[in-house]
Amino acid sequence: MPIKNIKRYSRILLAASIIYLGITVGFFDYAFNSLRNTDLFKDYYIKPDEVEIKFPEKKQNLIYIFLESTEMTNISKKNGGVFDISITPNLENIALNNINFSNTNLLGGARESYGTSWTVAAMIAQTAGIPLKVKINDISSSNSTSFNNITTIGDILSIEGYNNYLLMGSDANFGGRRSYFSNHSYIISDYYTAVEEGKIDSNYHEWWGYEDSKLFTYAKEYLTKISKDSKPFNFTMLTADTHFTDGYLDKSCDTIFSEAYANSFYCSDSMIAEFISWIQEQDFYENTTIVLTGDHPTMQENFYNIDNNYDRVVYNAFINSRVLPVNNKNRVFTTMDMFPTTLAALGVSIEGDRLGLGTNLFSSKKTIPEEIGLDNFNKELKKSSDYYYKYIRK
| DSSP β-ladder status, 288-294 and 61-67 | parallel
For residue 1, the model assigns a pLDDT of: 47
- Tell me, yes or no, if the pTM score tops 0.85: yes
As a whole-number percent, the residues of the chain with pLDDT over 70 amount to: 88
3-state class (DSSP) for residue 70: coil
Q: Is the pLDDT of residue 4 over 90?
A: no
**Class of residue 361 by CB neighbours under 10 A (exposed 0-12, middle 13-18, buried 19+):** buried
Q: Which comes out higher in pLDDT, residue 254 or 315?
A: 315
- 342: part of which helix (H) or strand (E)? helix 338-345
Q: Which comes out higher in pLDDT, residue 6 or 134?
A: 134
Q: Rounded to an integer, what distance in angstroms lies between the CA atom of residue 94 and that of residue 99?
A: 9
109-123, 128-142, 220-234: least confident range: 128-142
Q: Is the pLDDT of residue 5 over 60?
A: no
Beta bridge partners of 165: 187, 235
pLDDT tens column, 278-322 = 999 999 999 999 999 999 999 999 999 898 899 999 999 999 999
CA neighbours within 13 Å on the CB side: how many for 55?
17
What average pLDDT score do residues 187-215 get?
97
Q: Rounded to an integer, what distance in angstroms lies between the CA atom of residue 296 and that of residue 299?
A: 8
Residue 12 pLDDT class (50, 70, 90 cuts): low
Q: Rounded to an integer, what distance in angstroms lies between the CA atom of residue 323 and that of residue 321?
A: 5
Residue 20 pLDDT class (50, 70, 90 cuts): very low
Average pLDDT, the chain: 92
Q: Rounded to an integer, what distance in angstroms lies between the CA atom of residue 266 and that of residue 185?
A: 34
For residue 219, the model assigns a pLDDT of: 99
Q: Which residues contact 7 (CB under 8 A, 6 or more apart)?
A: none
> CA angle, 152 as apex, 72 and 271 as ends, to 5°?
35
For residue 36, the model assigns a pLDDT of: 75
Cβ atoms within 10 Å of 267's Cβ, excluding its own = 25
Q: Is the pLDDT of residue 25 over 60?
A: no
